[in-house]
């Protein structure tokens, strides 16, 4: 690595863009050895006010309103792409062509064709291209994966997972890009991408899906009168626009080992953001609930019969990501969703600067894994279209 500081930019300063902006700021202050010098160069958002506010708040040198300014700046080496899914491809391809390292948000794109083109561009690039399937950075989820992979839970028998959110529960929640697009581009793509990825991260590949059901509960939404960022509500017009995609999706999955059910909703009243899953093996079981982010519950079959049952384990330095990843990394100190963006940013920067994976964190997911995740969700849509018939999921 030369002495040139690593220049960083974030494109999109909405809900997740701010999490990326903050994560790069924190990434140099966690783990060892320390990273080379980084420069927080620019936050870019079409909305200049949003961009300027985020740049000032997170300590970036400037803000931009056209992503092409990021592409054209030779002092920027690393870029997060955190805008609506249908915008990912054009921006990512231009960044890779300009020799930038790219961390793109999930799902990789809004169509499989575009996602495959992006994966092709990543294969041809000399830089690092990764996708922000951020929940693999949850210490609790990574710990449960370890319990499965080391055989401590025995063979996986079944998985039950749900991701319930309520950002669309109120009929007054304004129209935004999240409600536009074909079947499967709604809750299934938005939060189902996370849940299905976590299901495979923990239990291994899903071979086929069946029994899929996608529904739209609120079929029209008011047009916003101002900018919509993330799940904010605000002043809305009396004019409405049709909701084009799914509020709810549920399906069953056949894994290489075991079966499961997965369910996602953006109209689950009183669940701001609640991923929950439970995995049952021949030797024990484990579960994780986003509402208690820094805890895992585990149970083992061979515990004495009079105390058998779930015990709560506080995540601490013996678990993934925690040691050195938090200012207070003792058990019980707690962490949450924002921290997993920091762990993700650090893993990405470590890879960019060439730190060996053995001395760093596990790498971020590849664009190929992003395509695979979209193929899995596409199989769910096809199962729904075929009245719940079983549909094979193409291998990675």
Ligand X SMILES: NC(=O)c1ccc[n+]([C@@H]2O[C@H](COP(=O)([O-])OP(=O)(O)OC[C@H]3O[C@@H](n4cnc5c(N)ncnc54)[C@H](O)[C@@H]3O)[C@@H](O)[C@H]2O)c1
Q: Quick check: 85 binds ligand X (CB under 6 A)? A: yes
Looking at 25, 52, 76, 105, which residue binds ligand X (CB under 6 A)? 105
Looking at 6, 45, 103, 346, which residue binds ligand X (CB under 6 A)? 45
Cβ nearer to ligand X, comparing 280 with 321 = 321
Q: Quick check: 60 binds ligand X (CB under 6 A)? A: no
Q: Which of residues 125-164 bind ligand X (CB under 6 A)?
A: 132, 134
Angle at 324 between CA 320 and CA 326, to 5 degrees: 90
CB of 135 to ligand X, least distance (A): 7
Nearest alpha carbon to residue 142 among 258, 253, 296: 296
Q: How far apart are CA 273 and CA 186, in angstroms?
A: 15
Cβ nearer to ligand X, comparing 156 with 275 = 275
CB of 268 to ligand X, least distance (A): 17
Question: Which sign does the torsion angle of CA 31, 36, 41, 45 carry?
Answer: negative
Q: Quick check: 82 binds ligand X (CB under 6 A)? A: yes
Q: How far apart are CA 266 and CA 293, in angstroms?
A: 20
Cβ nearer to ligand X, comparing 82 with 142 = 82
Stretch that binds ligand X, among 31-39, 45-53, 323-331, 378-386 (CB under 6 A): 45-53
Looking at 7, 17, 181, 250, which residue binds ligand X (CB under 6 A)? 17
Looking at 8, 16, 165, 294, which residue binds ligand X (CB under 6 A)? 16
Compute the chain's Rg from CA coordinates. Answer: 21
Q: Quick check: 258 binds ligand X (CB under 6 A)? A: no
Nearest alpha carbon to residue 100 among 41, 170, 162: 41
Phi/psi zone of residue 212: left (φ > 0), alpha (ψ -120 to 50 degrees), beta? beta
User: Closest-CB residue for ligand X?
Assistant: 14
Interface with ligand X (CB under 6 A): 11-17, 44-47, 50, 67, 82-85, 87, 105-106, 132, 134, 190, 229-230
């Amino acid at each position: 690595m030369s002495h040139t500081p690593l220049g960083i930019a974030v494109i999109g300063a909405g809900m997740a863009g701010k999490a990326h902006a903050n994560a790069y700021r924190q990434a140099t202050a966690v783990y060892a050895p320390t990273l080379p010098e980084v420069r927080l160069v620019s936050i870019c958002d079409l909305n200049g006010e949003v961009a300027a506010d985020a740049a000032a708040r997170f300590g970036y040198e400037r803000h931009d309103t056209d992503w092409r300014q990021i592409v054209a700046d030779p002092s920027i080496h690393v870029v997060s792409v955190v805008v609506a899914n249908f915008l990912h491809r054009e921006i990512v391809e231009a960044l890779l062509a300009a020799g930038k390292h790219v961390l793109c948000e999930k799902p990789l794109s809004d169509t499989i064709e575009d996602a495959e083109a992006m994966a092709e561009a990543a294969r041809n690039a000399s830089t690092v291209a990764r996708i922000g399937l951020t929940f693999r950075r949850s210490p609790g989820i990574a710990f449960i994966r370890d319990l499965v992979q080391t055989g401590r839970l025995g063979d996986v028998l079944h998985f039950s997972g749900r991701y319930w959110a309520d950002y669309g529960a109120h009929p007054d929640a304004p129209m935004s890009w999240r409600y536009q697009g074909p079947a499967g581009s709604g809750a299934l793509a938005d939060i189902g991408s996370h849940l299905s990825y976590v299901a495979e991260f923990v239990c291994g590949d899903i071979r086929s899906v069946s029994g899929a059901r996608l529904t739209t509960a609120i079929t029209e939404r008011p047009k916003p009168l101002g900018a919509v960022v993330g799940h904010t509500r605000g002043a809305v017009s009396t004019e409405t626009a049709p909701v084009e995609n799914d509020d709810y999706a549920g399906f069953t999955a056949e894994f290489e080992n075991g079966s499961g059910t997965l369910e996602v909703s953006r109209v689950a009243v009183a669940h701001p953001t609640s991923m929950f899953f439970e995995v049952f093996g021949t030797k024990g079981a484990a579960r994780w609930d986003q509402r208690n982010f820094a805890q895992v519950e585990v149970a083992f079959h061979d515990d004495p019969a009079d105390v058998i049952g779930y015990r709560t384990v506080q995540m601490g330095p013996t678990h993934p990501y925690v040691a050195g990843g938090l200012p207070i990394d003792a058990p019980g100190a707690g962490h949450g969703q924002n921290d997993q963006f920091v762990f993700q940013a650090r893993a990405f920067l470590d890879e960019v600067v060439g730190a060996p994976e053995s001395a760093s964190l596990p790498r971020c997911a590849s664009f190929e894994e992003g395509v695979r995740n979209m193929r899995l969700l596409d199989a769910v849509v096809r199962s729904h279209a075929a009245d719940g018939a079983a549909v094979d999921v193409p291998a990675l």
